[in-house]
A and B are shown apart, each in its own frame.
Chain A
Amino acid sequence: MKRKSQDCQSRLPDNSAVKQQQLPAYQLQLSANKILSGFFATGVFCLGVGVILLLSAKTIKEVEINYTEKCANCAKLRENAANFDKECNCSIPFVLPETMKGNVYMYYKLYGFYQNLYRYILSRSNTQLVGTDVKDVRNCAPFKTSHNGIPIAPCGAIANSMFNDTIILSYNLNSSIHIKVPMIRSGITWWTDKYVKFQNPSFQNLSSAFAGTTKPPNWPKPAYELDEEDPGNNGFINDDFIVWMRTAAFPTFKKLYRRLHRIEHFTEGLPAGSYSFNITYNFPVNRFQGEKAVVLSTLTWSGGSSLFLGLAYMVTGAVTWLAFFSMLAVHLRLRERKMFFLQQ
């Protein structure tokens, strides 16, 4: 009996929408009208955004001074490794024709410096930098330890190659009065980097925290003496160090060095006039045909001086409109033919 009732059971599949492939659905049909109006609207949008971006980029003032050649004598000196402890200064005067209004940022810019090489990027120890284990140099090849086996802190190729020129901007009010433009060296890093990703080892005394480690070979001083003026800016949380450690994506890059402190003469920004950069030349770029520059720039809502986005939007908008008109023409010409076979 039992078997019979089982036999009688219908094996008719369930009538659910999924199983019968009849889920309620919206059927997307891209009709000619929708496509054409879409193209038109996209064109309008792109041109609009492009215009806005270009206009805002226009307001940016920027000065870039390449000092690779200008400080050739220093460069020569640096080529010889024996002179590593000799100081070399070089001064580059320039004239600012217009006032740079608002916040002014000073960058150093490197050409042809490959911060994005695979082995270079890997060559750092995040456990060390976050302060948990100063002696963890596992990933830091080829700058793990010094010759006598002492672990380097901060280890690795990135830290070792840190940019170490000092650039001081002075405002030449007249030929005799040179005012050192006040610059802020803090607040140039991401908040997360400064307060989360980079931590000094927790010791009362910073130098003892670095005990048992040695400085990177290219560094003149150990990490805990990076900033002589501000003791809180030493060790792994040194702003310049953090900026350098955020490796650039492309071989040409600029990194924020200082911000204008808007006091006294400079509350409005950098007034027009003559200035000079006083550079302590340490960082050697000649060997790999690199170049160094210093950049002064103001910013807008869309960031730096790059015109790329604005131009790209303009071009895209223009091309979209071009495509729109040609597609419209094709559509109108072929529509009659299409209607013909629809009626068939």
Chain B
Amino acid sequence: MKYINLLFQGLERIQNFRTSHPWLSFLSSRNPKPTVGVPENSQATEEIPGNFNWNYSAMSVFEKESEDKQNGEQERYLQANNREFNSLFGYPNNSIKTSKYNAFNFLPMNLFEQFQRLANAYFLFLLFLQLIPQISSLAWYTTVVPLMVVLSITAVKDAIDDVKRHQNDNQVNSRSVLLLMDGRIVTDKWMNVQVGDIIKLENNQVVTADILLLSSSEPYSLTYIETAELDGETNLKVKQAISVTSEMEDNLKLLSAFDGEVRCESPNNRLDRFTGILIYKGKNYVLDHDRLILRGCIIRNTDWCYGLVIFTGPDTKLMQNSGKSTFKRTHIDHLMNVLVLWIFLFLGSMCFVLAVGHCIWESKKGYYFQDFLPWKEYVSSSAVSAVLIFWSYFIILNTVVPISLYVSVEIIRLGNSFYINWDRRMFYELKNTPARACTTTLNEELGQVKYVFSDKTGTLTQNIMIFNKCSINGKFYGVVYDKNGQRVEVSEKTEKVDFSYNRLADPKFSFYDKTLVEAVKRGDRWVHLFFLSLSLCHTVIPEEKVEGELTYQAQSPDEGALVTAARNFGFVFRSRTSETIMVVEMGETRIYQLLAILDFNSVRKRMSVIVRTPEDRVMLFCKGADTILCHLLHPSCRSLRDVTMEHLDDFASDGLRTLIVAYRELDNAFFQDWSRKHSEAYLSLENREDKISMVCEEIEKDLMLLGATAIDDKLQDGVPETIITLNKAKIKIWVLTGDKQETAVNIAYACNIFEDEMDGMFIVEGKDDETVRQELRSAREKMKPESLLESDPVNSYLTTNPRMPFKIPEEMPNGNYGLIINGYSLAHALEGNLELELLRTACMCKGVICCRMTPLQKAQVVELVKRYKKVVTLAIGDGANDVSMIKAAHIGVGINGQEGMQAMLNSDYAFSQFRYLQRLLLVHGRWSYNRMCKFLSYFFYKNFAFTLVHFWYAFYSGFSAQTVYDTWFITFYNLVYTSLPVLGLSLFDQDVNETWSLRFPELYEPGQHNLYFNKKEFVKCLMHGIYSSLVLFFIPMGTVYNSVRSDGKEISDYQSFSMIVQTSLLCVVTVQIALETTYWTMISHIFTWGSLGFYFCILFFLYSDGLCLMFPNIFQFLGVARNTLNLPQMWLGIVLSVVLCMLPVIGYQFLKPLFWPVSVDKIIDRIHHCMRHPLPHPSRTKRKHASSQRSAYAFSHKQGFGALITSGKTMRAKMSKKNSFPFKK
């Protein structure tokens, strides 16, 4: 007893010390150091020795500051309640501005930004070319109108975005805040808050600026905050004011008289760092980040607090952190840029050919034609003329680079993103969250994913633990048998155990084995002891807002599950203080004295509590990993141990997480002796951790085995099925987890990433480079022996082409293999030469599990694959630790899970369930990709067909830069006549519907190899375009050449020829798109045929008398439509052009799958076959369990907060009022 007193006195002392001095590092979320820390010469650090003079005069500071302003703020200096003084430094006020433009600078700034895009700049360049009269070959409006339309569409979009941002800014800036002014609290707007002001914050308010905490309503001036908006962690964190300011409490007189000066670092974006000094009443106090409450946090569980504003508006850490995220571009984007360059070259060479032609023509013909058309005065020779004509043709043929390409691509992507937002089948009802496409520029990439990097906890699993089975004193509980003694699979219908005898039971808890309840009711001693130990041995914090409605705040969900189980079976853990635990045992309230908590850590893999029972017995309860605990058992329970081990194997084979529970009764004297040693160890300055664990080992031995628990780490719904589907789509799934190897492997088996029938499994756990290399190479030798030989194509490629960047092709192993690698080995593997070894080995495996990963390593693995493989990667995760990988991958997907918003905020797509991934990829992704490819092929084709006609015409018009079409047709072709059909195609087309997409995941494969649009396809488009332009030129030419109307009048004139060519062109491209449309909705009909009809309407309008008479020099084609469209030759010519353009296309489509079949053709055939003869639905696959994997853990691998409990810090004050408790996940 004496020793205990001593111990507690010691602890008390430390606590007093801690509370009087700002030393709460253990409470800070980022420093989970042991609680009972010994302060290191605190007084010295807190007050800076007097000879170190920080008290500059205000003037000298100002001089220094203004100097600093020139090369950036070096240091911040401010005084509380002194606006005049602070205004000397010109700190910004608290208004924020995320908007880019205002009413005046919108136009110039937006235009400047838009012209930074290559295509827009190109068209601007063309516009300037056109202004040169010597080379202008097109009316000015042919370029201006499309450019204006394109620019204004983008500008409108930008303006809408910016207006939204303005509204947001305004809303944020005009939120109200309580400001201390002249001894009174006044309400003001956020934007009016200045550096040095003192503000009052109340419970659940959002923090206005980065403030220095002065005082709060809670004991020890603690303030609880939630930082979800900053780092996504939803758990509460604690900040504490320094003692000298906390004394002011809410005394307004004192607060407004407070004239402390703060010197601190300049604004920066480091959330976890703050250094500064408070100078108050002549003394200096050190400030660290535990005193600073950042803008964007939310005050919780604190009635009020006062703070001194340090950073405002743009200087706050929140705003400093909201830097521009990297802009992701898709493979198609890159390809498009390459192709646009190709087109430029193609354009240049065409212009060159034509210029040469012009030179020859001018010297042979044009020179002698000067009677009728003299050369211009500045044209001295045909060569000069040729140089000019080069540029003229450059202008005419500019339409090979489609101006509306980029705008259309954006519109299509936007539309396809909306489909994702609108999808009811990706809506998660329980959380009321629809799927969300945060980025609208990556859609088609979703159809090309080859590698999926998945987090485990919260992504594959629900991160919800459920007490499932247990073994108590050698008896197995948790399996339900029917009357015949057959084991029954638990399902929805299985009858649950009735816990109504227990008033405090958790209604959500369900258990099916009645024998356990009967044992409890019977009063089985072992069962009681087992549950008692579960209700005592933990670090859970209870919360009872309403009498009888308990909720538990557990550091790990496993622990919560165990305590909840004990609660339901009648051992209700009701409340705790730092010294006692109150348990309601079968309706009877008993208080246990809590003597010590020997907390969990990753080395010990166990935790114990020592309690004094009401009967004055000292008991130790311990729970921990079986591998550790079985060595600590008392020899007398060997036989029990063997039985329990068998049960543990059973549990493990079901994929359950297991723990062993044991107890030990301690001799009072022995305990006192140990307790003294323990407190000594705590107070020691050196090697404290080691000493403590040594002391703990002394007492955690000769344990008596009670039993084992099995907890079900529930997978999310549909995860195994999703993974099977994705595997069928040849998508490789790598699990990157921070969790332990056994856990990860277990889950991998459970969700089908690994299968029992696999040909082999490699575990890489080497601790140095050489071992890791050996392990990787031997794995590769087994999978593909020839890949180690010199002659292997990849090897020889690597030796001959050592230059970066190179891509490693896909290598096929001789079977199904799995690879497990842990973070330590990975650190070696990621360095230097092993990178490639790792990549080649891992990429051959069917499934890869990387465990014990740091967030950085996750990103490194993704980067590695991105760098050396020509594939699209997707990372999916739910926690803040997945952010790096989500940002690194081509596509980041955030799961809206238990671990806050951080992953979602950084992701490109966000939804609530892993299983929606298959819909995102196989349905939306595939459609987006197919649509984008169809769009691009068609778009390039239609522009080639359109433009190249000019090229052929050059040979008949003396290479004089004569266009074939009316200038208005050129103006409208891309924007009006052909834009809607192709938009309709790329927004509504479905080659096969969603059911088939999901039933035949193999359909996804072409996207991964980018088969539908690549350079080869582009060349095909080019060839097709050239062919079509030939037909479109020569058929109309033949039709009108030397021909006349049936009344003898003109038909072979230039304007009629234009008319017939442009009409045939439009018919051909319309029929072409009709041919490519496989899914004819009403809208497709309206768009396709409507556009064609609209063309004729516009035609009659543009060529009408009125318009042409009003502007005779602009609209020159008066009457052409009326005079030519009624001629049979005309229509015969158009029909022939269409037939000649379409027949080869249809023939190619027919013959291609016959001569060069790809796997998809077979599947499409099969689908068509199945449409006629429906298949039975495929049977669902059941969740498989690992066969021999043993997992043993019920803790997260982080330190618990047992020490915090014993310290009593938070327990002491208003325990009942608290509705939550600060823990670190």
Contacts and interface: CB of A to CB of B under 8 A. Distances in A.
Contacts of A255: 1050
A118 B957 contact: yes
A161 B372 contact: yes
Interface stretch (A189-197, A202-210, A224-232): A189-197
A157 B372 contact: yes
B961 A118 contact: yes
A284 B432 contact: no
16 contacts: A21-B419, A25-B1084, A53-B1132, A114-B957, A126-B1116, A127-B1113, A142-B374, A188-B1049, A190-B1123, A196-B1109, A197-B1108, A243-B1050, A249-B956, A250-B1057, A301-B1046, A316-B1136
Interface stretch (A92-100, A268-276, A304-312): A304-312
B1053 A249 contact: yes
Contact of B365 (A191, A288, A312, A338): A288
A115 interface: yes
B1056 A117 contact: no
B350 interface: no
Interface string B940-968: 00000000000000001110111100000
B956 A250 contact: yes
The winner among A197, A253, A303 for most chain B CB atoms within 10 A is A303
Contacts of B1123: 190-192
A300 B1146 contact: no
B422 A19 contact: yes
Contact of A117 (B376, B957, B1041): B957
Contact of B1150 (A35, A107, A118, A197): A35
A330 B1154 contact: yes
A103 interface: yes
Contacts of B418: 19
B1150 A13 contact: no
A330 B1151 contact: yes
B453 interface: no
Interface stretch (A38-46, A145-153, A166-174): A38-46
A19 B424 CA distance: 9
Given A46-B1136, A114-B957, A305-B1043, 5 more contacts: A23-B1083, A116-B956, A306-B1041, A341-B1165, A342-B1165
Interface in A207-238: 218
A142 B1050 contact: no
B1140 interface: yes
B1054 A248 contact: yes
B47 interface: no
Given A28-B1080, A38-B1146, A11 B1054 contact: no
B432, B961, B1054 interface centre (most CB from chain A within 10 Å): B1054
Given A12-B429, A42-B1143, A32 B1119 contact: no
Given A25-B1080, A249-B1057, A120 B373 contact: yes
A127 B960 CA distance: 25
Contacts of A164: none
A230 B1128 CA distance: 34
A49 B1082 contact: no
Contacts, number: 277
Given A105-B1048, A254-B1042, A21 B990 contact: yes
A80 interface: no
A121 B962 contact: yes
A309 B1038 contact: yes
Contacts of A53: 1132
B1010 interface: no
A59 interface: no
Contact of A299 (B1047, B1119, B1165): B1047
Contacts of B963: 118
A36 to B, nearest CB: 8
B503 interface: no
Q: Which 4 A-B pairs have the closest CB atoms?
A: A192-B1119, A126-B1112, A249-B1057, A308-B1038
A10 interface: yes
Contacts of A157: 372-373
Interface of A: 10-15, 19-21, 23-32, 35, 38-39, 42, 46, 49, 53, 103, 105, 107, 109, 112, 114-121, 123, 125-127, 129-130, 132, 138-139, 142, 157, 160-161, 188-193, 196-197, 218, 243, 246-256, 259, 284, 287-289, 297, 299-306, 308-309, 312-313, 316, 319-320, 323, 327, 330-331, 334, 338, 341-342
B1051 interface: yes
Interface size class of B (residues with CB under 8 A): 35 or more
Given A30-B1149, A323-B1143, A19 B372 contact: no
Contacts of A249: 956, 1037, 1040, 1052-1054, 1056-1058
Contacts of B988: 21, 23, 25
Given A26-B1080, A190-B1119, A299-B1044, A12 B1057 contact: no
A171 B656 CA distance: 113
A301 B427 contact: no
Interface in B1103-1157: 1105, 1108-1109, 1112-1113, 1116, 1118-1119, 1122-1123, 1127-1129, 1132-1133, 1136, 1139-1140, 1143, 1146-1147, 1149-1151, 1154-1155
A303 B1154 contact: no
Contacts of B1056: 249
A289 B1053 contact: no
Contacts of B1105: 192, 196
Interface string B1071-1091: 000000111111110000000
Contacts of A120: 372-373, 960
Contacts of B1046: 299-303
Contact of B376 (A11, A142, A197, A313): A142
Nearest to B1127: A303
Contacts of A190: 1049-1050, 1119, 1123
A115 B1113 contact: no
A14 B1122 CA distance: 48
Contact of A316 (B958, B1082, B1139): B1139
Given A13-B427, A118-B962, A309-B1133, A303 B1043 contact: yes
Contacts of A12: 424, 427, 429, 432, 434
Nearest to A128: B1112
Given A27-B1078, A42-B1139, A313-B1136, A256 B1146 contact: no
Nearest to B1149: A30
A288 B392 CA distance: 24
A334 B1112 contact: no
Contacts of A39: 1143, 1146-1147
Nearest to B1135: A49
B496 interface: no
B423 interface: yes
Interface in B389-414: 392
B424 A32 contact: no
A139 B369 contact: no
B590 interface: no
Contact of B1044 (A31, A256, A287, A334): A256
A11 B1146 contact: no
A23 B1040 contact: no
Given A103-B1048, A331-B1154, A253 B427 contact: no
A338 B1169 CA distance: 11
Query: Which of B1037, B1143, B1155 lies at the interface centre, i.e. has the most chain A CB atoms within 10 A of its CB?
Result: B1143
Contact of B1146 (A30, A127, A243): A30
Contacts of B994: 21
A11 B432 contact: yes
A11 to B, nearest CB: 5
B1168 interface: yes
Contacts of A331: 1150, 1154
A129 B1116 CA distance: 12
B907 interface: no
A193 B368 contact: no
A105 B1150 contact: no
Given A11-B427, A23-B1081, A192-B1105, A114 B1154 contact: no
